[in-house]
Structure 1
Amino acid sequence: MTAPEPVLAPVAARYAWWLGLPAERTSVRDVPPEQVWAMPVVLRLEKSAPPARTPLLEAAASAAVAVCLHDNSLPGGPWYDAVHTWTSGHIRKVARRARGVHWEAVQSLPGVTVEVEGAQVRALVPCRVADLPREVSRLQISGSDLPADQPQAAAADLPLLLLNPGVTMSAGKAAAQVGHATMLLAALLDPADLAVWASRNLRCAVRVASPAQWVRVTATLADPHGAWEEQGLVAVRDAGFTEVEPGTVTVVARWKPTA
Protein backbone atom coordinates (compact mmCIF):
# COMPACT_ATOMS: atom_id res chain seq x y z
CA MET A 1 0.00 0.00 0.00
CA THR A 2 1.37 3.41 -1.02
CA ALA A 3 2.02 5.79 1.88
CA PRO A 4 0.00 9.03 1.84
CA GLU A 5 1.93 11.96 0.37
CA PRO A 6 2.57 15.23 2.23
CA VAL A 7 -0.16 17.82 1.70
CA LEU A 8 2.17 20.17 -0.20
CA ALA A 9 3.33 17.51 -2.69
CA PRO A 10 0.60 18.41 -5.23
CA VAL A 11 1.68 22.06 -5.06
CA ALA A 12 5.28 21.14 -5.84
CA ALA A 13 4.12 18.85 -8.64
CA ARG A 14 2.30 21.64 -10.45
CA TYR A 15 4.92 24.34 -9.99
CA ALA A 16 8.17 22.37 -10.23
CA TRP A 17 7.72 20.66 -13.59
CA TRP A 18 11.49 20.12 -13.68
CA LEU A 19 11.10 17.45 -11.00
CA GLY A 20 10.15 15.08 -13.80
CA LEU A 21 6.79 14.13 -12.32
CA PRO A 22 4.14 12.38 -14.44
CA ALA A 23 2.08 14.71 -16.59
CA GLU A 24 -1.12 13.94 -14.70
CA ARG A 25 0.46 15.38 -11.53
CA THR A 26 1.10 18.77 -13.11
CA SER A 27 -2.45 19.68 -14.10
CA VAL A 28 -5.66 20.47 -12.26
CA ARG A 29 -9.03 19.36 -13.50
CA ASP A 30 -11.91 21.84 -13.62
CA VAL A 31 -14.56 21.15 -11.00
CA PRO A 32 -18.19 22.26 -10.72
CA PRO A 33 -18.64 25.48 -8.69
CA GLU A 34 -20.38 23.65 -5.87
CA GLN A 35 -17.33 21.40 -5.48
CA VAL A 36 -14.75 24.21 -5.28
CA TRP A 37 -12.53 24.10 -2.19
CA ALA A 38 -10.93 27.17 -0.60
CA MET A 39 -8.99 28.15 2.50
CA PRO A 40 -10.77 30.88 4.48
CA VAL A 41 -8.30 33.54 5.63
CA VAL A 42 -9.81 35.80 8.28
CA LEU A 43 -8.24 39.24 8.76
CA ARG A 44 -8.83 41.01 12.05
CA LEU A 45 -9.83 44.56 11.13
CA GLU A 46 -11.11 46.34 14.20
CA LYS A 47 -12.87 49.56 13.26
CA SER A 48 -11.29 51.62 16.04
CA ALA A 49 -7.74 50.34 15.60
CA PRO A 50 -7.05 48.75 12.21
CA PRO A 51 -3.63 47.15 11.73
CA ALA A 52 -0.93 48.35 9.40
CA ARG A 53 -1.05 46.72 5.98
CA THR A 54 2.44 45.14 5.90
CA PRO A 55 2.23 43.30 9.26
CA LEU A 56 -1.23 42.05 8.31
CA LEU A 57 0.10 40.59 5.05
CA GLU A 58 3.05 39.03 6.85
CA ALA A 59 0.70 37.41 9.35
CA ALA A 60 -1.47 36.07 6.52
CA ALA A 61 1.54 34.64 4.69
CA SER A 62 2.72 32.77 7.79
CA ALA A 63 -0.75 31.59 8.83
CA ALA A 64 -1.55 29.97 5.48
CA VAL A 65 1.60 27.87 5.36
CA ALA A 66 1.34 27.10 9.09
CA VAL A 67 -1.93 25.26 8.46
CA CYS A 68 -0.23 23.13 5.80
CA LEU A 69 2.74 22.30 8.04
CA HIS A 70 0.76 21.77 11.25
CA ASP A 71 1.02 18.35 12.90
CA ASN A 72 -2.71 17.95 12.27
CA SER A 73 -2.03 18.14 8.51
CA LEU A 74 0.41 15.23 8.51
CA PRO A 75 -0.81 11.95 6.98
CA GLY A 76 -3.20 10.41 9.46
CA GLY A 77 -3.88 13.74 11.17
CA PRO A 78 -7.39 15.18 11.55
CA TRP A 79 -6.79 17.93 8.98
CA TYR A 80 -4.94 15.81 6.40
CA ASP A 81 -7.82 14.79 4.14
CA ALA A 82 -9.23 18.32 3.91
CA VAL A 83 -5.89 20.03 3.31
CA HIS A 84 -4.71 17.42 0.79
CA THR A 85 -8.00 17.59 -1.14
CA TRP A 86 -7.57 21.35 -1.35
CA THR A 87 -3.92 21.33 -2.42
CA SER A 88 -4.74 18.74 -5.08
CA GLY A 89 -6.92 21.34 -6.83
CA HIS A 90 -6.57 25.09 -7.26
CA ILE A 91 -5.15 26.52 -4.04
CA ARG A 92 -7.86 29.11 -3.72
CA LYS A 93 -8.08 31.31 -0.67
CA VAL A 94 -10.90 33.65 0.29
CA ALA A 95 -9.99 36.49 2.64
CA ARG A 96 -12.71 37.84 4.90
CA ARG A 97 -12.65 40.55 7.54
CA ALA A 98 -13.81 40.22 11.12
CA ARG A 99 -13.93 42.29 14.27
CA GLY A 100 -15.14 41.98 17.83
CA VAL A 101 -17.31 38.96 18.60
CA HIS A 102 -17.09 37.75 15.00
CA TRP A 103 -13.31 37.54 15.29
CA GLU A 104 -13.64 35.67 18.57
CA ALA A 105 -16.12 33.24 16.99
CA VAL A 106 -13.68 32.00 14.33
CA GLN A 107 -11.05 31.17 16.95
CA SER A 108 -12.97 27.98 17.76
CA LEU A 109 -12.73 26.73 14.15
CA PRO A 110 -9.80 24.51 13.10
CA GLY A 111 -6.90 26.63 11.93
CA VAL A 112 -3.92 28.75 12.97
CA THR A 113 -3.81 32.37 14.17
CA VAL A 114 -0.65 34.39 13.61
CA GLU A 115 0.10 37.82 15.05
CA VAL A 116 2.74 40.18 13.66
CA GLU A 117 3.25 43.58 15.29
CA GLY A 118 -0.31 43.57 16.57
CA ALA A 119 -1.87 42.47 13.25
CA GLN A 120 -3.77 39.18 13.51
CA VAL A 121 -4.87 36.70 10.85
CA ARG A 122 -6.45 33.27 11.24
CA ALA A 123 -6.08 30.79 8.37
CA LEU A 124 -8.65 28.01 8.59
CA VAL A 125 -8.63 24.43 7.41
CA PRO A 126 -9.95 24.41 3.81
CA CYS A 127 -13.42 23.17 2.93
CA ARG A 128 -15.89 23.25 0.07
CA VAL A 129 -17.11 26.80 -0.38
CA ALA A 130 -20.66 25.48 -0.16
CA ASP A 131 -19.87 24.06 3.29
CA LEU A 132 -18.41 27.16 4.92
CA PRO A 133 -19.28 27.37 8.62
CA ARG A 134 -21.78 30.05 9.55
CA GLU A 135 -19.10 31.85 11.55
CA VAL A 136 -17.20 32.37 8.29
CA SER A 137 -19.96 32.74 5.67
CA ARG A 138 -21.45 35.72 7.53
CA LEU A 139 -18.17 37.65 7.32
CA GLN A 140 -17.69 40.30 4.65
CA ILE A 141 -15.22 39.83 1.80
CA SER A 142 -15.30 43.46 0.65
CA GLY A 143 -13.95 46.35 2.67
CA SER A 144 -10.65 44.68 3.49
CA ASP A 145 -8.40 47.39 2.11
CA LEU A 146 -5.80 49.26 4.14
CA PRO A 147 -3.62 52.22 3.19
CA ALA A 148 -0.04 51.68 2.12
CA ASP A 149 2.50 51.92 4.91
CA GLN A 150 6.23 52.48 5.10
CA PRO A 151 7.88 49.37 6.64
CA GLN A 152 11.49 49.25 7.65
CA ALA A 153 14.06 47.33 5.64
CA ALA A 154 13.32 43.60 5.56
CA ALA A 155 15.33 41.36 7.87
CA ALA A 156 18.02 39.46 5.95
CA ASP A 157 17.27 36.14 7.65
CA LEU A 158 13.64 35.92 6.51
CA PRO A 159 12.11 34.88 3.18
CA LEU A 160 11.16 37.97 1.18
CA LEU A 161 7.83 38.23 -0.64
CA LEU A 162 7.86 40.97 -3.28
CA LEU A 163 4.51 42.35 -4.41
CA ASN A 164 4.04 43.46 -8.02
CA PRO A 165 4.32 47.28 -7.99
CA GLY A 166 2.22 47.57 -11.13
CA VAL A 167 -0.87 45.79 -9.80
CA THR A 168 -3.38 47.25 -7.37
CA MET A 169 -4.74 44.67 -4.92
CA SER A 170 -6.92 45.01 -1.86
CA ALA A 171 -5.38 43.83 1.41
CA GLY A 172 -7.59 40.74 1.22
CA LYS A 173 -6.42 39.85 -2.28
CA ALA A 174 -2.79 40.50 -1.39
CA ALA A 175 -3.17 38.34 1.74
CA ALA A 176 -4.27 35.41 -0.40
CA GLN A 177 -1.38 35.93 -2.82
CA VAL A 178 1.34 36.00 -0.17
CA GLY A 179 -0.22 32.88 1.33
CA HIS A 180 0.20 31.17 -2.04
CA ALA A 181 3.84 32.30 -2.08
CA THR A 182 4.75 30.80 1.29
CA MET A 183 3.09 27.53 0.31
CA LEU A 184 5.23 27.38 -2.84
CA LEU A 185 8.36 28.01 -0.82
CA ALA A 186 7.50 25.31 1.70
CA ALA A 187 6.65 22.85 -1.07
CA LEU A 188 10.05 23.27 -2.73
CA LEU A 189 12.38 23.59 0.27
CA ASP A 190 14.44 20.63 1.43
CA PRO A 191 13.72 19.34 4.95
CA ALA A 192 16.75 21.10 6.49
CA ASP A 193 15.79 24.53 5.17
CA LEU A 194 12.17 23.96 6.08
CA ALA A 195 13.23 23.14 9.64
CA VAL A 196 15.21 26.39 9.80
CA TRP A 197 12.19 28.35 8.67
CA ALA A 198 9.90 26.55 11.11
CA SER A 199 12.29 27.44 13.93
CA ARG A 200 11.58 31.09 13.05
CA ASN A 201 7.82 30.48 13.27
CA LEU A 202 7.51 30.62 9.45
CA ARG A 203 7.95 34.38 9.58
CA CYS A 204 8.57 36.27 6.36
CA ALA A 205 8.90 39.83 5.10
CA VAL A 206 6.43 41.35 2.64
CA ARG A 207 7.45 44.39 0.62
CA VAL A 208 6.30 46.12 -2.55
CA ALA A 209 9.06 45.77 -5.14
CA SER A 210 10.49 48.83 -6.80
CA PRO A 211 9.82 48.90 -10.56
CA ALA A 212 13.50 48.20 -11.31
CA GLN A 213 13.64 45.37 -8.79
CA TRP A 214 10.50 43.84 -10.29
CA VAL A 215 11.97 43.91 -13.79
CA ARG A 216 15.09 42.11 -12.56
CA VAL A 217 13.36 39.32 -10.65
CA THR A 218 10.72 38.63 -13.30
CA ALA A 219 13.39 38.47 -15.99
CA THR A 220 15.19 35.83 -13.91
CA LEU A 221 11.97 33.82 -13.71
CA ALA A 222 12.01 33.25 -17.47
CA ASP A 223 13.95 30.13 -16.42
CA PRO A 224 11.94 28.99 -13.36
CA HIS A 225 14.19 26.01 -12.63
CA GLY A 226 17.32 28.13 -12.70
CA ALA A 227 15.65 30.92 -10.74
CA TRP A 228 14.88 28.48 -7.93
CA GLU A 229 18.14 26.55 -7.97
CA GLU A 230 20.39 29.60 -8.25
CA GLN A 231 18.51 32.36 -6.44
CA GLY A 232 15.68 30.70 -4.51
CA LEU A 233 13.01 32.56 -6.48
CA VAL A 234 9.44 31.41 -7.14
CA ALA A 235 6.50 33.29 -8.66
CA VAL A 236 2.80 33.35 -7.92
CA ARG A 237 0.72 33.60 -11.09
CA ASP A 238 -2.89 34.41 -10.35
CA ALA A 239 -5.73 32.41 -11.85
CA GLY A 240 -7.65 35.63 -12.43
CA PHE A 241 -10.82 34.87 -10.49
CA THR A 242 -10.81 38.31 -8.80
CA GLU A 243 -9.17 41.74 -9.17
CA VAL A 244 -6.35 40.86 -11.61
CA GLU A 245 -6.02 39.39 -15.09
CA PRO A 246 -5.36 35.63 -15.42
CA GLY A 247 -1.66 34.81 -15.46
CA THR A 248 -0.60 37.99 -13.69
CA VAL A 249 2.53 37.53 -11.57
CA THR A 250 1.39 38.99 -8.27
CA VAL A 251 4.23 37.95 -5.95
CA VAL A 252 7.81 36.81 -6.32
CA ALA A 253 9.13 34.99 -3.26
CA ARG A 254 12.85 34.77 -2.47
CA TRP A 255 14.28 32.17 -0.12
CA LYS A 256 17.45 33.66 1.24
CA PRO A 257 17.65 33.04 4.99
CA THR A 258 21.07 33.41 6.56
CA ALA A 259 22.52 31.86 9.69
Structure 2
Amino acid sequence: MSPGPTGRLGRVSDNDLPETPCTPLRHERTARDEAPQFVLPLVVHIEKAVPPARTDALETAARAVLVMLSDERSLGGGEWAEVMRLWQDARIRKVVRRARGAEWRKASALPGITVTGSAEAAGNAAEVRVFPPVPLDGWPKELAKLQVSGTDLDDPEPPAPAPADGAVLWLSPDLDMSAGKAMAQAGHGAQLAWWELSEVERKAWQAAGFPLAVRTSGAGRWRELTTSGLPVVRDAGFTEIAPGSCTVVADHPALRRAPRP
Protein backbone atom coordinates (compact mmCIF):
# COMPACT_ATOMS: atom_id res chain seq x y z
CA MET A 1 0.00 0.00 0.00
CA SER A 2 1.21 3.48 -0.81
CA PRO A 3 1.89 6.28 1.69
CA GLY A 4 -0.86 8.59 2.88
CA PRO A 5 -2.86 10.81 0.53
CA THR A 6 -0.53 13.77 0.85
CA GLY A 7 2.16 11.74 -0.93
CA ARG A 8 4.51 11.75 2.05
CA LEU A 9 4.78 9.42 4.97
CA GLY A 10 3.04 10.18 8.25
CA ARG A 11 2.84 13.45 10.16
CA VAL A 12 -0.60 14.10 8.70
CA SER A 13 -4.00 13.99 10.27
CA ASP A 14 -6.93 11.93 9.10
CA ASN A 15 -8.49 15.11 7.81
CA ASP A 16 -5.37 16.77 6.39
CA LEU A 17 -5.37 19.82 8.62
CA PRO A 18 -2.18 21.92 8.82
CA GLU A 19 0.53 20.70 11.11
CA THR A 20 0.21 23.08 14.04
CA PRO A 21 0.00 22.84 17.84
CA CYS A 22 -3.08 21.13 19.19
CA THR A 23 -5.36 24.12 19.36
CA PRO A 24 -8.71 24.73 17.66
CA LEU A 25 -8.44 25.70 14.00
CA ARG A 26 -10.89 26.92 11.41
CA HIS A 27 -11.65 24.23 8.87
CA GLU A 28 -9.94 25.01 5.57
CA ARG A 29 -11.15 23.51 2.31
CA THR A 30 -8.52 21.65 0.32
CA ALA A 31 -8.38 19.77 -2.98
CA ARG A 32 -9.40 16.69 -1.04
CA ASP A 33 -12.78 18.33 -0.36
CA GLU A 34 -13.41 18.46 -4.10
CA ALA A 35 -12.94 14.71 -4.52
CA PRO A 36 -15.92 12.35 -4.09
CA GLN A 37 -16.38 11.87 -0.36
CA PHE A 38 -16.51 8.37 1.11
CA VAL A 39 -16.72 7.05 4.65
CA LEU A 40 -15.46 3.83 6.22
CA PRO A 41 -18.35 2.30 8.21
CA LEU A 42 -17.64 0.42 11.42
CA VAL A 43 -20.41 -1.25 13.41
CA VAL A 44 -19.88 -2.29 17.01
CA HIS A 45 -21.99 -5.10 18.46
CA ILE A 46 -23.54 -3.87 21.71
CA GLU A 47 -26.10 -6.04 23.47
CA LYS A 48 -27.72 -4.35 26.47
CA ALA A 49 -27.08 -7.25 28.83
CA VAL A 50 -23.42 -7.82 27.93
CA PRO A 51 -21.84 -4.70 26.42
CA PRO A 52 -18.14 -4.84 25.58
CA ALA A 53 -15.58 -3.01 27.70
CA ARG A 54 -14.70 0.43 26.35
CA THR A 55 -10.96 -0.16 25.90
CA ASP A 56 -11.52 -3.50 24.21
CA ALA A 57 -13.95 -1.83 21.79
CA LEU A 58 -11.46 0.93 20.98
CA GLU A 59 -8.64 -1.54 20.38
CA THR A 60 -10.87 -3.80 18.28
CA ALA A 61 -11.96 -0.86 16.11
CA ALA A 62 -8.32 0.11 15.52
CA ARG A 63 -7.44 -3.46 14.54
CA ALA A 64 -10.50 -3.63 12.26
CA VAL A 65 -9.19 -0.63 10.30
CA LEU A 66 -5.79 -2.29 9.95
CA VAL A 67 -7.38 -5.56 8.84
CA MET A 68 -9.35 -3.70 6.17
CA LEU A 69 -6.28 -1.79 4.95
CA SER A 70 -4.22 -4.98 4.64
CA ASP A 71 -6.90 -7.31 3.24
CA GLU A 72 -6.15 -8.68 -0.23
CA ARG A 73 -9.52 -7.40 -1.44
CA SER A 74 -8.38 -3.83 -0.60
CA LEU A 75 -5.10 -4.07 -2.50
CA GLY A 76 -3.98 -4.26 -6.13
CA GLY A 77 -6.85 -5.46 -8.26
CA GLY A 78 -8.97 -6.63 -5.33
CA GLU A 79 -12.73 -6.10 -5.36
CA TRP A 80 -12.52 -3.30 -2.78
CA ALA A 81 -9.32 -1.68 -4.10
CA GLU A 82 -10.96 1.06 -6.18
CA VAL A 83 -13.32 2.26 -3.46
CA MET A 84 -10.48 2.12 -0.93
CA ARG A 85 -8.42 4.34 -3.21
CA LEU A 86 -11.28 6.82 -3.67
CA TRP A 87 -11.83 6.94 0.08
CA GLN A 88 -8.18 7.68 0.77
CA ASP A 89 -8.01 10.31 -1.98
CA ALA A 90 -10.65 12.35 -0.14
CA ARG A 91 -10.89 13.14 3.56
CA ILE A 92 -10.36 10.02 5.64
CA ARG A 93 -13.71 9.68 7.35
CA LYS A 94 -14.81 6.87 9.63
CA VAL A 95 -18.21 6.54 11.29
CA VAL A 96 -19.01 4.10 14.08
CA ARG A 97 -22.58 2.88 14.53
CA ARG A 98 -23.97 0.36 16.99
CA ALA A 99 -26.17 -2.67 16.49
CA ARG A 100 -27.71 -5.50 18.48
CA GLY A 101 -29.89 -8.52 17.86
CA ALA A 102 -31.43 -8.65 14.40
CA GLU A 103 -29.69 -5.38 13.44
CA TRP A 104 -26.30 -6.98 14.02
CA ARG A 105 -27.25 -10.12 12.09
CA LYS A 106 -28.39 -8.04 9.09
CA ALA A 107 -25.22 -5.94 9.19
CA SER A 108 -23.10 -9.08 9.41
CA ALA A 109 -24.65 -10.37 6.19
CA LEU A 110 -23.20 -7.45 4.20
CA PRO A 111 -19.70 -7.71 2.67
CA GLY A 112 -17.16 -6.79 5.32
CA ILE A 113 -14.89 -8.19 8.01
CA THR A 114 -15.74 -8.88 11.66
CA VAL A 115 -12.92 -8.47 14.17
CA THR A 116 -13.25 -9.82 17.70
CA GLY A 117 -11.54 -8.32 20.72
CA SER A 118 -9.68 -9.88 23.58
CA ALA A 119 -11.38 -12.90 25.15
CA GLU A 120 -9.74 -11.91 28.43
CA ALA A 121 -11.23 -8.40 28.40
CA ALA A 122 -13.48 -7.53 31.32
CA GLY A 123 -17.06 -8.04 30.26
CA ASN A 124 -17.98 -9.30 26.82
CA ALA A 125 -15.30 -9.41 24.13
CA ALA A 126 -15.88 -6.62 21.60
CA GLU A 127 -17.05 -7.35 18.07
CA VAL A 128 -16.57 -4.74 15.36
CA ARG A 129 -17.49 -5.24 11.72
CA VAL A 130 -15.75 -3.00 9.18
CA PHE A 131 -17.17 -2.50 5.71
CA PRO A 132 -15.69 -1.23 2.44
CA PRO A 133 -16.06 2.56 2.14
CA VAL A 134 -19.42 3.90 0.99
CA PRO A 135 -20.37 7.30 -0.45
CA LEU A 136 -21.03 9.86 2.25
CA ASP A 137 -24.71 9.96 1.29
CA GLY A 138 -25.00 6.38 0.00
CA TRP A 139 -25.07 4.07 3.02
CA PRO A 140 -26.69 0.64 2.63
CA LYS A 141 -30.12 0.68 4.25
CA GLU A 142 -29.07 -1.99 6.77
CA LEU A 143 -26.37 0.39 8.08
CA ALA A 144 -28.05 3.75 7.50
CA LYS A 145 -30.74 3.06 10.10
CA LEU A 146 -28.29 2.15 12.86
CA GLN A 147 -27.72 4.64 15.66
CA VAL A 148 -24.51 6.67 15.53
CA SER A 149 -24.87 9.06 18.48
CA GLY A 150 -24.69 8.21 22.14
CA THR A 151 -22.48 5.15 21.76
CA ASP A 152 -20.80 4.95 25.14
CA LEU A 153 -19.16 2.17 27.09
CA ASP A 154 -17.31 1.72 30.36
CA ASP A 155 -14.30 -0.25 31.53
CA PRO A 156 -15.34 -2.47 34.49
CA GLU A 157 -11.70 -2.40 35.63
CA PRO A 158 -8.93 0.08 34.81
CA PRO A 159 -6.97 -1.15 31.78
CA ALA A 160 -3.52 -2.56 32.42
CA PRO A 161 -0.51 -0.33 31.69
CA ALA A 162 0.41 -0.20 28.02
CA PRO A 163 3.28 -2.52 27.09
CA ALA A 164 6.52 -0.58 26.75
CA ASP A 165 7.58 -2.54 23.67
CA GLY A 166 4.28 -2.54 21.80
CA ALA A 167 2.18 -0.30 19.59
CA VAL A 168 0.12 2.21 21.57
CA LEU A 169 -2.51 4.65 20.39
CA TRP A 170 -2.41 7.44 22.97
CA LEU A 171 -5.67 9.34 23.50
CA SER A 172 -5.67 12.97 24.53
CA PRO A 173 -6.30 13.50 28.25
CA ASP A 174 -7.97 16.84 27.48
CA LEU A 175 -10.92 15.66 25.38
CA ASP A 176 -14.17 14.03 26.42
CA MET A 177 -15.24 11.75 23.57
CA SER A 178 -18.02 9.21 23.36
CA ALA A 179 -16.92 5.63 22.84
CA GLY A 180 -18.03 5.80 19.20
CA LYS A 181 -16.01 8.93 18.55
CA ALA A 182 -12.97 7.51 20.34
CA MET A 183 -13.24 4.29 18.32
CA ALA A 184 -13.11 6.28 15.08
CA GLN A 185 -10.15 8.31 16.35
CA ALA A 186 -8.27 5.15 17.39
CA GLY A 187 -8.89 3.85 13.87
CA HIS A 188 -7.42 7.05 12.43
CA GLY A 189 -4.33 6.66 14.60
CA ALA A 190 -3.84 3.05 13.53
CA GLN A 191 -4.13 4.10 9.89
CA LEU A 192 -1.51 6.85 10.26
CA ALA A 193 0.90 4.35 11.84
CA TRP A 194 0.22 1.88 9.01
CA TRP A 195 0.94 4.50 6.36
CA GLU A 196 4.25 5.37 7.94
CA LEU A 197 5.61 1.86 8.35
CA SER A 198 7.70 0.18 5.69
CA GLU A 199 6.31 -2.81 3.81
CA VAL A 200 8.43 -5.18 5.90
CA GLU A 201 7.22 -3.56 9.13
CA ARG A 202 3.62 -3.75 8.00
CA LYS A 203 3.87 -7.44 7.16
CA ALA A 204 5.45 -8.19 10.54
CA TRP A 205 2.67 -6.32 12.36
CA GLN A 206 0.02 -8.08 10.30
CA ALA A 207 1.57 -11.51 10.86
CA ALA A 208 1.48 -10.90 14.61
CA GLY A 209 -2.25 -10.10 14.48
CA PHE A 210 -1.88 -6.32 14.83
CA PRO A 211 -1.17 -6.22 18.58
CA LEU A 212 -1.85 -2.76 19.98
CA ALA A 213 -3.12 -0.93 23.02
CA VAL A 214 -5.29 2.16 23.34
CA ARG A 215 -4.62 4.21 26.43
CA THR A 216 -5.22 7.76 27.64
CA SER A 217 -2.00 9.70 28.03
CA GLY A 218 -1.07 11.43 31.24
CA ALA A 219 -1.40 15.20 31.02
CA GLY A 220 2.31 15.76 31.53
CA ARG A 221 3.30 13.39 28.74
CA TRP A 222 0.76 14.55 26.17
CA ARG A 223 2.72 17.61 25.07
CA GLU A 224 5.83 15.46 24.72
CA LEU A 225 3.96 12.98 22.55
CA THR A 226 2.43 15.59 20.26
CA THR A 227 5.84 17.14 19.59
CA SER A 228 7.78 13.87 19.31
CA GLY A 229 7.47 13.46 15.55
CA LEU A 230 5.10 10.50 15.89
CA PRO A 231 1.93 10.61 13.76
CA VAL A 232 -0.76 12.83 15.28
CA VAL A 233 -4.48 12.76 14.48
CA ARG A 234 -6.00 16.23 14.23
CA ASP A 235 -9.76 16.20 13.99
CA ALA A 236 -11.67 18.25 11.42
CA GLY A 237 -14.34 19.04 13.99
CA PHE A 238 -17.37 17.59 12.22
CA THR A 239 -18.66 16.02 15.46
CA GLU A 240 -18.22 16.41 19.24
CA ILE A 241 -14.91 18.31 19.41
CA ALA A 242 -13.35 21.52 18.08
CA PRO A 243 -11.61 21.43 14.69
CA GLY A 244 -7.86 21.06 14.94
CA SER A 245 -8.01 19.17 18.23
CA CYS A 246 -5.28 16.56 18.58
CA THR A 247 -7.03 13.35 19.53
CA VAL A 248 -4.51 10.50 19.14
CA VAL A 249 -0.76 10.01 18.87
CA ALA A 250 0.19 6.77 17.10
CA ASP A 251 3.20 5.11 18.71
CA HIS A 252 4.74 1.97 17.21
CA PRO A 253 8.12 0.41 18.08
CA ALA A 254 9.33 0.72 14.50
CA LEU A 255 8.54 4.44 14.48
CA ARG A 256 10.67 4.99 17.58
CA ARG A 257 13.75 3.20 16.23
CA ALA A 258 14.47 5.23 13.11
CA PRO A 259 13.81 8.81 12.03
CA ARG A 260 11.20 9.27 9.32
CA PRO A 261 11.10 11.87 6.55
- With the length of structure 2 as denominator, give the TM-score of the two structures: 0.82
- List per-residue Cα deviations over 1:124-182 (Å, max 9, x = no partner): 11010222111100100012011355101223443100000000000000011110111
Alignment of 1:236 onto 2:233: yes
Partner of 1:20: none
Give the Å deviation of 1:238.
Answer: 0.5
Quote the Cα distance in structure 2 between the aligned partners of 1:14 and 1:127: 25
Partner of 1:24: none
1:126 corresponds to which of 118, 121, 133: 133
Give the Å deviation of 1:108.
Answer: 2.0
Structure 2 alignment gaps of length 5 or more: 13-29, 119-124, 257-261
2:253 corresponds to which of 227, 252, 256: 256
Quote the Cα distance in structure 2 between the aligned partners of 1:83 and 1:111: 13
2:153 corresponds to which of 146, 160, 167: 146
Quote the Cα distance in structure 1 between the aligned partners of 2:31 and 2:166: 31
Give the Å deviation of 1:194.
Answer: 0.8
Give the Å deviation of 1:14.
Answer: 7.5
Alignment of 1:169 onto 2:177: yes
Alignment of 1:30 onto 2:33: yes
**RMSD (Å) for aligned C-alpha atoms:** 2.0
In 2 relative to 1, CA 186–11 (structure 1 residues): closer, same or farther, beyond 3 Å?
farther
Quote the Cα distance in structure 2 between the aligned partners of 1:28 and 1:176: 23
**Percent of matched pairs sharing the same residue:** 39
- Equivalenced residue count is 231
Give the Å deviation of 1:107.
Answer: 1.5
Quote the Cα distance in structure 2 between the aligned partners of 1:179 and 1:42: 13
- List per-residue Cα deviations over 1:11-64 (Å, max 9, x = no partner): 6538458xxxxxxxxx643248xx531011101111111111000000000001
Alignment of 1:112 onto 2:113: yes
- With the length of structure 1 as denominator, give the TM-score of the two structures: 0.83
Greater share of residues in helix: 1
Q: Matched residue of 1:29: which SS? A: helix
Alignment of 1:159 onto 2:154: no
- List per-residue Cα deviations over 1:187-218 (Å, max 9, x = no partner): 11011111111012123100011111212212
